[in-house]
Amino acid sequence: MTELSLAKAINAGLQAALAADDRVVLLGEDIGRLGGVFRVTDGLQAEFGEGRVIDTPVAESGIVGTAIGLAHTGFRPVVEIQFDGFVYPAYDQIVTQLARHYNRTAGHLPMPVVIRIPYGGGIGAVEHHSESPEGQFVLTPGLKVVTPATAEDGYWMIQQAIEAEDPVIFLEPKRLYWQTGSVDLDATPTSLWSSVVRREGTDATLIAYGPTVSTCLEAAEVAESDGVDLAVIDLRSLSPLDLEPVYASVRQTGRAVVVHEAARTLGLGAEIASRVMQECFYSLEAPVQRVAGYDVPYPPSRVEDDYLPGLDRILDTVEAILNDEWQTESTGDGQWGQQGQTG
């Protein structure tokens, strides 16, 4: 067992992948001499050379498009997008090209490409540095999307993503970069595409991924002191989704709360709520709840704590469904809403 921060664990995973397979190459802005703005690639260019850890111009679309061409010649490129909000210049290359070359060529051009993206808020950043774009990639056929929430997962999941034969969006919860955890370098890792139960519980099931996993675990500890027993499930893979552990837990608890930083409307919570309703209809004691970001652009950092799903919002929501007091909403949009406002 080694104690590592999430950033160091991903760094160690990248180092292992580069050492194991000379088809693995890293591309990104400032990833070489600087080691990346979060230092996730620290030391890798010195060890593997400029030919395998490539500093690129500031051209996200160009980086991803180049990675696609490299994959055509048998390489396994790992791209770093510097911040979540900077992925959009590459969005077309990702959703129109990367996600579809396997399909377009009937399997003749596989795309074993990993796009690493630091994502999520909570670090007091300026605009474009705190986004949660996972939904946009989850709804794109041809992509797979994963996100580690622990150092151990950071170390193993990045290696598994690089070994995968399909394009993987690898989302790194940036506010957990400095959080340390023990990493078993000799472990047999869990499948990349599986969710894991981080905590068993009988009263309600919290469903989280990436940055909200640790928030939910904290919430569960607080609830425990109030005599409420919460289960916490870490999805790890957002596409494909592995919801069997979720269904098993909800059949026991009858109550589910999905917690994510991304905005609520059409976020993963919507899909998970739909599937839980389909699979656990007769077990549900309350509607599936979502504690998520609001449908607004990510706010200035001085108010981000209220935007992010925190302990209070999670625990208030749990309390409401345990007491059959969940909120319903009337948006006021549409003609009935208009009449309501004027009348």
Partner 1 sequence: MGVSPSGRDRLVQLLTSDGVRREHPDFNYDGDLPSVAELYRQMVLVRRVDTEGFALQRHGELGLWPPSLGQEAVLVGGAAALGPTDFVYPTYREMLLGWLLGVSISDLLSVWRGSSHGGWDSHRHRFGPMSIVIGSHPLHATGHALGLAMRGQSDSAVIAYFGDGASSQGDVMEAIELAVLQQVPVVFFCQNNQFAISHPVARQSAVPIVQRADGFGLPGIQIDGNDVLACHAVTQAALKQAREGGGPTLIEAITYRMGPHTTSDDPTRYRDAAEVESWRARDPIDRVRAYLATEGWEPAFFDDVDREAEALGESVRAACLAIPEPDLAAWFDNVYAEQTGELRSQQAEYVAWRQQYGGVA
- Interface residues with partner 1 (CB under 8 A) are 25, 51, 56-57, 59, 61-62, 64-75, 92-93, 96-97, 100-110, 112, 141-142, 144, 164-166, 193, 240-241
Nearer to partner 1, 109 or 123 (CB): 109
**CA–CA gap between residue 166 and residue 82 (Å, rounded):** 22
Output the smallest distance, CB 280 to partner 1, in A: 17
Question: Which of 182, 163, 161 is closest to 172 using CA atoms?
Answer: 161
Amino acid in position 296 = V
Q: Tell the smallest beta-carbon distance from residue 95 to partner 1 (Å).
A: 10
Q: Using DSSP, state whether 325 is helix, strand or coil.
A: coil
Least distance (Å) from partner 1 to the CB of residue 106?
A: 4
- Of residues 106 and 303, the one with the C-beta less far from partner 1: 106
C-alpha of 88 from chain center: 17
Contact 166/102 with Cβ under 8 angstroms?
A: yes
- Smallest gap, in angstroms, from Cβ of residue 112 to partner 1? 8
Helix orientation angle between 244-253 and 268-280, rounded to the nearest 10 degrees: 60
Nearer to partner 1, 6 or 241 (CB): 241
Asked if residue 130 lies in contact with residue 301, where contact means CB atoms within 8 angstroms, the answer is yes
Give the H/E segment covering residue 224: helix 211-225
If the CB atoms of residues 104 and 178 are measured against partner 1, the closer one turns out to be 104
Residue 33 in contact with residue 207, Cβ under 8 Å? no
- Determine which one of 72, 101, 108, 129 is catalytic: 129
Comparison of 101 and 290: residue with beta carbon closer to partner 1: 101
152: closest CA among 318, 325, 13, 305? Answer: 13
Map residue 189 onto helix, strand or coil.
coil
Cα(298)–Cα(303) distance, rounded to whole angstroms?
10
Question: Minimum distance from CB of 108 to partner 1 (Å)?
Answer: 5
What phi and psi, each to the nearest 5 degrees, are found at residue 146? -135, 160
Among 309, 289, 315, 288, CA closest to 227: 315
The nearest distance, CB 149 to partner 1, in angstroms, is: 21
Among left, alpha and beta (phi > 0; psi -120 to 50; other), residue 195 is beta
The question of whether 72 is a catalytic residue gets the answer no
In the complex, least distance from residue 68 CB atom to partner 1, rounded to whole angstroms: 5
Of 103 and 274, CB closest to partner 1? 103
DSSP-assigned letters across all residues of 87-145: SGGGHHIIIIIITTHHHHTTTSS----EEEEEE---S---TTSS---HHHHHTSTT-EE
Integer Cα distance of 240 and 238 in angstroms: 6
Would strands 144-146 and 237-239 be described as parallel, antiparallel, or unpaired? antiparallel
| Token pair recorded at residue 297 | 């652009």
Query: By C-beta, is 110 or 254 nearer to partner 1?
Result: 110
- What token pair was written down for 323? 């007491």
Positions annotated as catalytic residues are: 129
